[in-house]
Amino acid sequence: MHSDPTDQRPDKPEEACGIYAVLAPGEPVANLTYFGLYSLQHRGQESAGIAVFDAGHKVRLHKDMGLVSQVFDQDVLERLVGDLAVGHNRYSTTGSSKVCNAQPVVLMTRLGPCALAHNGNLVNAAELRLELADIASELTSTTDSELIAFAIQQAVNGGRDWDGAIRHAASRCRGAFSLVIGTPQGLFALRDGHGIRPLVFGHIGDLADAQWVVSSESCGLDIIGAVFDGDVEPGEIIHFRAGDPLPERSSWCVEEAKLCIFEMIYFARPDSRFFGESLYSYRVRIGEALARETPVAADIVIGVPDSGIPAAIGYSQASGIPFGDGLIKNRYVGRTFIQPTQAMREAGIRVKLNPLPDVLAGKRVVVIDDSIVRGTTSRKLVQALRDAGALEVHMRISSPPVTHPCFYGIDTDTQDQLIAARLSLAEISSHLGVDSLAYLSQQGMVEAAQANSSHFCTACFDGSYPIEMDEQVRSSKLMLEPSGIAASVLLHR
């Protein structure tokens, strides 16, 4: 398997979006949303936006390409005056990387404006686009998120109230969608029936003040000192109103919960809470499970920063092999960073990770990473560890082999690009140049969550897609017959 030397894409699944909203009359809602989006920056780095409702009927919007800190400054935030803000960080999975595709989407309706921010991906976007053909000329973007907003607008203009319109629009959507929607009647938060993407809510100040915050992850509540109140449940819609200390919670549909387990392994921040604990604890446990399942004689355990570190600590604790910092990461390499040429790479330029020879030389090294997607980065990493003097390199992966693409809001490439879909375990080991390679079992990954094991989407590891796609959508990314998928799936122990 040869990697394309001109291929500059990151060798990790890419998160699609972070969403955030604050309903807090009298508070600087745009500034609070800015900090919330800043804490969710890992979920999307291409564009950012905030829409603010002033006195219900006027909306000010600012969105642009870039990181949150590049898109907003104090002058911009001071102009975004109001009592309800909706914010969004984007990394494109549907629609191209252009400012017209940045969110929130703001539309005018019979009942006033609405501002919508979406995390996820619809699998029936083409169908929905056809159904909305009469307003297609008004579509300004190529995103599925705008289609949801137009479906809400159509339902409102057809006579429904906000709650009815949002439920009606949601029922026309198939796929993953966590939404925050600002309206003149307050803030709505909603998750698709499977709850594939996370969404939590909390409050600031006294509960009686009814100042609400909704965030993709709980780290977005912590950053502004908000109190965590709970998850927006799969299939739930919550209506928050200014001055009302009890939000109105109800189901809009009932399906089996299927949270994306990759959120737990890699995407979400380790300080975000899932199932009553921080993800850091879960990631330590999957490292422990990995050590029990795939032991190896070695002198040191290191993690690939940042997401491989907790699992490396867990592996060390369970195996008794000392943990060390063997790789230093430059934390300031953004998506817009000018990448070195292939010649520069060959000359030894290491932009993101640098190994520490003092720690690694003469040692048998276990290196823990959270996933292997295409394998291009892992191969370079192994060579760098050897160059730093590692005697042996044993790679351990704290998730099963990624053999299937994601259709629900994560960019995992087409199936033919996924190394574990094409090569056997032995072939991957030899491609990466490791002394040994092993993955965590699916059972180990799910059991470590200490939650109902059927309540996860694990499709990128086993192809069990919880939401059906039509043939055109499937064949856009799934190109291998099940019989053609490499034996690494079966042989990963």
Catalytic residues: 17
Say if CB 165 and CB 148 are below 8 A apart: no
Per-residue tokens: 20: 């955030």
| Comparison of 162 and 262: residue with beta carbon closer to ligand SF4 | 262
| Comparison of 187 and 406: residue with beta carbon closer to ligand SF4 | 406
Q: How far apart are CA 409 and CA 379, in angstroms?
A: 27
Please identify which residue in 196, 226, 302, 478 interacts with ligand SF4, judged by CB under 6 A. 196
Q: How far apart are CA 166 and CA 185, in angstroms?
A: 13
Per-residue tokens: 209: 């003040």
What stretches of 268-375 show up as alpha helix (H) in DSSP? 279-293, 309-319, 342-346, 357-360
| Comparison of 336 and 476: residue with beta carbon closer to ligand SF4 | 476
With contacts defined by CB under 6 A, how many residues of the chain interact with ligand SF4?
11
- Nearest distance, CB of residue 121 and ligand SF4, angstroms: 9
Please identify which residue in 384, 408, 413, 477 interacts with ligand SF4, judged by CB under 6 A. 408
| Comparison of 46 and 192: residue with beta carbon closer to ligand SF4 | 192
| Comparison of 121 and 376: residue with beta carbon closer to ligand SF4 | 121
Q: How far apart are CA 475 and CA 493, in angstroms?
A: 30
**Segment interacting with ligand SF4 (CB under 6 A) among 178-186, 284-292, 405-413, 418-426:** 405-413
Say if CB 403 and CB 463 are below 8 A apart: yes
**Segment interacting with ligand SF4 (CB under 6 A) among 211-219, 364-372, 390-398, 453-461:** 453-461
- Nearest distance, CB of residue 265 and ligand SF4, angstroms: 9
Site residues for ligand SF4, 12-41, by CB under 6 A, read none
| Comparison of 323 and 461: residue with beta carbon closer to ligand SF4 | 461
| Comparison of 19 and 301: residue with beta carbon closer to ligand SF4 | 19
Half-sphere exposure of 89 (CA within 13 A, CB side): 29
Q: How far apart are CA 158 and CA 161, in angstroms?
A: 9
Say how many residues make up the chain. Answer: 493
Phi, then psi, of 281 in degrees rounded to 5: -65, -40
- Does position 122 interact with ligand SF4 (CB under 6 A)? The reply is no
Say if CB 262 and CB 307 are below 8 A apart: no
- Nearest distance, CB of residue 28 and ligand SF4, angstroms: 35
| Beta-carbon count within 10 A of 467 CB | 20
- Does position 457 interact with ligand SF4 (CB under 6 A)? The reply is yes
Question: What string marks each residue from 221 to 260 as x (binds ligand SF4 by CB under 6 A) or -?
Answer: ---------------------------------------x
- Does position 460 interact with ligand SF4 (CB under 6 A)? The reply is yes
Q: How far apart are CA 287 and CA 312, in angstroms?
A: 6
- Nearest distance, CB of residue 460 and ligand SF4, angstroms: 3
| Beta-carbon count within 10 A of 479 CB | 14
Site residues for ligand SF4, 85-104, by CB under 6 A, read none
Site residues for ligand SF4, 258-277, by CB under 6 A, read 260-262
Q: How far apart are CA 66 and CA 84, in angstroms?
A: 23
- Nearest distance, CB of residue 17 and ligand SF4, angstroms: 13
SS3 state at 239: strand
Please identify which residue in 406, 437, 473, 485 interacts with ligand SF4, judged by CB under 6 A. 406
The single residue listed with the structure tokens 């590891």 is 461
| Beta-carbon count within 10 A of 197 CB | 30
- Contact positions vs ligand SF4 (CB under 6 A): 196, 260-262, 406, 408, 410, 457-460
